[in-house]
Chain A
Amino acid sequence: MVGLYVRDQDEAFAFYVEKLGFRVHTDVRNGDYRWLTVQHPDQPSFQLGLFTPGAPTHDAGTAQALREIVAKGAMPPLVLVVDDCRAAYDRVRARGVEFTQEPVDRYGTVDAGFRDPSGNG
């Protein structure tokens, strides 16, 4: 499992499930804390965690710094491997995914860039 910081777990859940085709793996709450992970049907061994910065994990200053870093797109790359990049681009773009780069053909492979609502790309 690898986690991402997101600005809002409901929004992130809707994005990864409804727009990118993930499904919920674990969604448990304890007070303000919510452990939320999703997985893709094509790679059930992998979970993607969607976490918000904040109490009780972070103090207020750290949480604010993390929110700023995410919103600036400064978190590390998130890469999805698909069979047909152009088809996947057309499909998820039609669902409203924000693309930062159209599909580009390089050295026999095609890649495109997108961001989630929080700024992860």
Chain B
Amino acid sequence: MSQDPELLRRLLRAKDRMDAASDEDWPVQRLARVSGVSAAHFARSFKEAFGVPPHRYLLTRRIERAAALLRDTDLSITEIAFETGWESLGTFGRTFRDVTGKSPGATRARERAAPYDLESVPECFLRAAHRPALTIAVSEKRRREACGTKGSEETEVA
């Protein structure tokens, strides 16, 4: 599958904008405007280029931000939830646990106990590297865990 490099460069710009402000709302219309394409074209092309639908990419960025704030700041979990773009503490806690396998509180305790020596890695690359690999939709992940199956063949669910 080949994509026009000129389009890819514009899709990258939308991805960069989400990276820089993952706490903001990024409806497909807004992203499509950044890339200068229609909303339908954007959603399809973004997934083809970067392997995940745009909303799920944004979710992984928010989880990364929340994990970093849990580790590096004394903000309360409620403050972190709102700071990273969630509208309710309940949704944040549930989604964080579903994606990472641990609650925000447990993540904070574990991360603070672990040595940290990544000071010399530039911030934007560190953020990109610490993004969880969410290859399936959270709803699909929940369903599989509820069924007690892991499933080696992962199915893409948009």
Contact = CB atoms under 8 A, between A and B. Distances in A.
B16 interface: yes
Interface stretch (A17-25, A33-41, A43-51, A68-76): A68-76
Contact of B124 (A70, A113, A119): A113
Interface residues of A, number: 24
Interface size class of B (residues with CB under 8 A): 20 to 34
A102 B21 CA distance: 11
| Majority DSSP secondary structure for residues of B touching A | helix
A7 B13 CA distance: 16
B73 to A, nearest CB: 12
Given A100-B19, A101-B124, A73 B119 contact: no
Interface of B: 2-3, 5-6, 8-9, 11-13, 15-16, 19-20, 49-50, 119, 122-125
Interface of A: 7, 64, 67-68, 70-73, 77, 79, 98, 100-102, 104, 106-107, 109, 111, 113, 115, 118-119, 121
